[in-house]
Chains A and B, each alone.
Chain A
Amino acid sequence: MRAIFTIAWKDLKALLTNPLFYVIGGMCTVLWSYTYMRSLLEFAERSRMFAQPGMDSGPNIQNTVIMAHISLTNLLFIFVLPALTMRLLAEEKRMRTYDLLLTSPITATQIAVGKFFAGWGAAVALAGISLLYPLATRLVVSYPMGPLFSAYLGMILVAGAYVAVGLFASALTESIMLSVVLGLIFNILLWFISQGAGEGHFYTPVVEYLSLGQHFVGFIMGAVKLNSTVFLLSLITLFVFLTQRVVESSRWR
């Protein structure tokens, strides 16, 4: 437990104090600020139209502004998180500090889990920045908090899956570049796997179930489903386990 914490804490500090994190955070903030403000203004415009007598109840801020914000954040995460996680193991190998980890009295599992938590921590920090936008909106508009939190729970779990995938990619190679590209491809694969599901085949429901998107949508709609939670946690476990196998394999390769 202590070894996991030691590694996680050291790597989280390294991730959060690295200029890369600030560049990524800064660029994301620019993008979020621009799109969030635009969709908020658009929403205000349309609400005014619907406010005329005799019209239906207007558009819902949850479904328009916040959902769009969360979808954008998720899209960004697909690309940005592999860049954060790329260093976790590839850098250790490149700088030969891997030798220190492998000759310390710790197990491959502790290394993999510690590294995962460090990456997840950084992802949660980034998600935290994006959460500021909907929270700030609450200063002027009141809307139910429930769906917002279920959406963020989902986002944190999905981000965990991206981090685990990125960590696995990082374990496979000594090259940081390759680690980013691999992580990216794995992430995109997980997101778009349902595209190949087709319709009416015997494998359609299986493939659809494997897609991250299907599960994430549930969380955004405000439904914390047990099967989605279990699916995402298993996905995280699977990739952390695969990472552990790769780390362990350096002992006998």
Chain B
Amino acid sequence: MIEVRELSKHYGERLAINALNFSVKKGEVVGFLGPNGAGKSTTMKIITGYMAPSSGSVTVAGFDVFEDPIEVKRRIGYLPETPPVYHDMYVGDYLRFVANLKGCDRTRLTGLVNSALEKTGLQDVRGRLIGNLSKGFKQRVGLAQALVSDPEILILDEPTVGLDPKQVAEMRQLIRTLKGQHTIVLSTHILPEVQASCDKVIIINSGKIVAENSLEGLSKQMSSGGGHSISVRVRRNQEVIVRGLSSVPGVRATTNMGNFIEVQTDGDETTVERVAGYVVQQGAGLLELRVQALALEDIFIKLTSTETAH
């Protein structure tokens, strides 16, 4: 659906993004992840035809963004970082204006506006001035604006930024319900967001892609060879267990961390089983045993910090 080839953008001397390559398939939900200033917004702006790259190409649904910008824009709904809403317009009027601007079929206009209002839960505020709405509602109006033309592709630039925790949860729920109807690219620097809603993650740092994979694939890729660590909490005999565990096959090292024991293993599931068996067999009173898979957070920090270390 979206093909990005060797995409670069300079702002004067500064290189914002450097030779990006990736593709997004129809119906996928792709999370664009990176620290602030990594080039996420720049990439999204180029895909939407808002600005031109310094070099490289982008095709959306088979149309080149720079040869046929109109055709591309017709297929994209875009929510920028700041929702592009007019403070002196009513919610319903605004959505109708956007639908007109996107060239939607005149006869379907009212239906489209209503369904966008419904999807974003804005029916109750359709007659209110946008300027008087709270930030969370403005954000939702921004999303409704992206949805109103029922586009094939949705590009959401940090859709949950500045929302309160309840609104964040609602926004994620909303994105989940949109899954399957649209191809979605969303950018964020909040990791649970990606875990909550994306099929695929593209991690970008200092203008370069440092990882591109599915969530599971990514954790597998990062943990291969690294093994797992298990944290064990027991009621009694902690010292004895620490010493005893080091002789269990598959365990590489054990450390007494005070209120729990950290066990480094080879990552095999049978090792986990043997560790659990040993603790129970010793009658130490097992309180907790947790396998710490490499979380997205760790992957993210690992990838982005090694990259900046160069």
Question: Which residues of A are in contact with B by a Cβ distance under 8 Å?
Answer: 2-3, 6-7, 10, 14, 17-18, 95-107, 250-253
* Interface residue stretch chosen among B47-55, B212-220, B243-251: B47-55
A10: chain B residues at CB < 8 Å are 89, 97
Query: Looking at B49, B74, B87, B100, which has the most chain A CB atoms within 10 Å of its CB?
Result: B100
Given A6-B100, A17-B88, A96-B84, verify A105-B74 contact (CB < 8 Å).
Answer: yes
Contact with A along B80-118 (1 / 0, CB 8 A): 111111111100000001101111000000000000000
Given A100-B145, A102-B50, A105-B74, verify A2-B88 contact (CB < 8 Å).
Answer: no
B103: chain A residues at CB < 8 Å are 2-3, 105-106
- B76: interface (CB < 8 Å): yes
Residue of A nearest to B106 (CB): A2
Residue of A nearest to B48 (CB): A103
A18: chain B residues at CB < 8 Å are 88
The distance in angstroms between the C-alpha atoms of A250 and B51, with both chains bound, is: 7
The distance in angstroms between the C-alpha atoms of A146 and B52, with both chains bound, is: 53
Instruction: Give the distance to chain B from A209, nearest Cβ to Cβ, in Å.
Output: 39
Query: Looking at B84, B85, B88, B102, which has the most chain A CB atoms within 10 Å of its CB?
Result: B84
Q: Are B70 and A107 in contact (CB under 8 A)?
A: yes
- B73: interface (CB < 8 Å): yes
Instruction: Give how many B residues have a beta carbon under 8 Å from the other chain's beta carbons.
Output: 29
Instruction: Give the distance to chain B from A198, nearest Cβ to Cβ, in Å.
Output: 44
Q: Are A104 and B101 in contact (CB under 8 A)?
A: yes
Q: Are A100 and B101 in contact (CB under 8 A)?
A: yes
A-B contact pairs, 7 of them (CB 8 A): A2-B103, A3-B100, A17-B88, A18-B88, A100-B98, A251-B50, A253-B51
Q: Are A2 and B100 in contact (CB under 8 A)?
A: yes
With A102-B50, A104-B98 already in contact, 18 other A-B pairs whose C-beta atoms are closer than 8 Å: A6-B100, A10-B97, A14-B86, A14-B89, A17-B88, A18-B88, A96-B81, A97-B86, A100-B101, A102-B49, A103-B50, A103-B76, A105-B71, A105-B73, A105-B74, A107-B70, A251-B49, A253-B51
Instruction: Give the distance to chain B from A133, nearest Cβ to Cβ, in Å.
Output: 31
Q: Are A105 and B102 in contact (CB under 8 A)?
A: yes
Instruction: Give the distance to chain A from B167, nearest Cβ to Cβ, in Å.
Output: 20
Instruction: Give the distance to chain A from B49, nearest Cβ to Cβ, in Å.
Output: 6
Query: Looking at A99, A104, A106, which has the most chain B CB atoms within 10 Å of its CB?
Result: A104
- Out of A97, A104, A105, A252, which one reaches B85, CB within 8 Å? A97
The distance in angstroms between the C-alpha atoms of A101 and B100, with both chains bound, is: 12
The distance in angstroms between the C-alpha atoms of A59 and B181, with both chains bound, is: 76
Interface of B is mostly: loop
Q: Are A251 and B101 in contact (CB under 8 A)?
A: no
Instruction: Give the distance to chain A from B95, nearest Cβ to Cβ, in Å.
Output: 12
Given A103-B76, A105-B70, A105-B73, verify A95-B87 contact (CB < 8 Å).
Answer: yes
Q: Which 9 A-B pairs have the closest CB atoms?
A: A100-B84, A105-B73, A96-B82, A6-B100, A105-B74, A97-B84, A99-B80, A104-B101, A103-B48
Residue of A nearest to B44 (CB): A103
A251: chain B residues at CB < 8 Å are 49-52, 69
The distance in angstroms between the C-alpha atoms of A102 and B82, with both chains bound, is: 14
- B78: interface (CB < 8 Å): yes
Residue of B nearest to A17 (CB): B88
Residue of A nearest to B99 (CB): A6
B80: chain A residues at CB < 8 Å are 96, 99-100, 103
The distance in angstroms between the C-alpha atoms of A64 and B250, with both chains bound, is: 106
A106: chain B residues at CB < 8 Å are 70, 101, 103
Q: Are A103 and B49 in contact (CB under 8 A)?
A: yes
- Out of A99, A250, A253, which one reaches B84, CB within 8 Å? A99
Instruction: Give the distance to chain B from A169, nearest Cβ to Cβ, in Å.
Output: 21
The distance in angstroms between the C-alpha atoms of A105 and B49, with both chains bound, is: 10
Q: Are A103 and B73 in contact (CB under 8 A)?
A: yes
B71: chain A residues at CB < 8 Å are 105
The distance in angstroms between the C-alpha atoms of A100 and B146, with both chains bound, is: 9
Residue of B nearest to A7 (CB): B101
The distance in angstroms between the C-alpha atoms of A7 and B51, with both chains bound, is: 21
Instruction: Give the distance to chain B from A246, nearest Cβ to Cβ, in Å.
Output: 15
Given A3-B103, A6-B100, verify A104-B86 contact (CB < 8 Å).
Answer: no
Instruction: Give the distance to chain B from A119, nearest Cβ to Cβ, in Å.
Output: 16
Contact with A along B14-51 (1 / 0, CB 8 A): 00000000000000000000000000000000001111
- Out of A14, A17, A99, which one reaches B50, CB within 8 Å? A99
The distance in angstroms between the C-alpha atoms of A18 and B103, with both chains bound, is: 27
B49: chain A residues at CB < 8 Å are 102-103, 251
B69: chain A residues at CB < 8 Å are 105, 251
The distance in angstroms between the C-alpha atoms of A6 and B97, with both chains bound, is: 7
Instruction: Give the distance to chain A from B79, nearest Cβ to Cβ, in Å.
Output: 9
Instruction: Give the distance to chain B from A4, nearest Cβ to Cβ, in Å.
Output: 11
The distance in angstroms between the C-alpha atoms of A6 and B95, with both chains bound, is: 12
Residue of B nearest to A18 (CB): B88
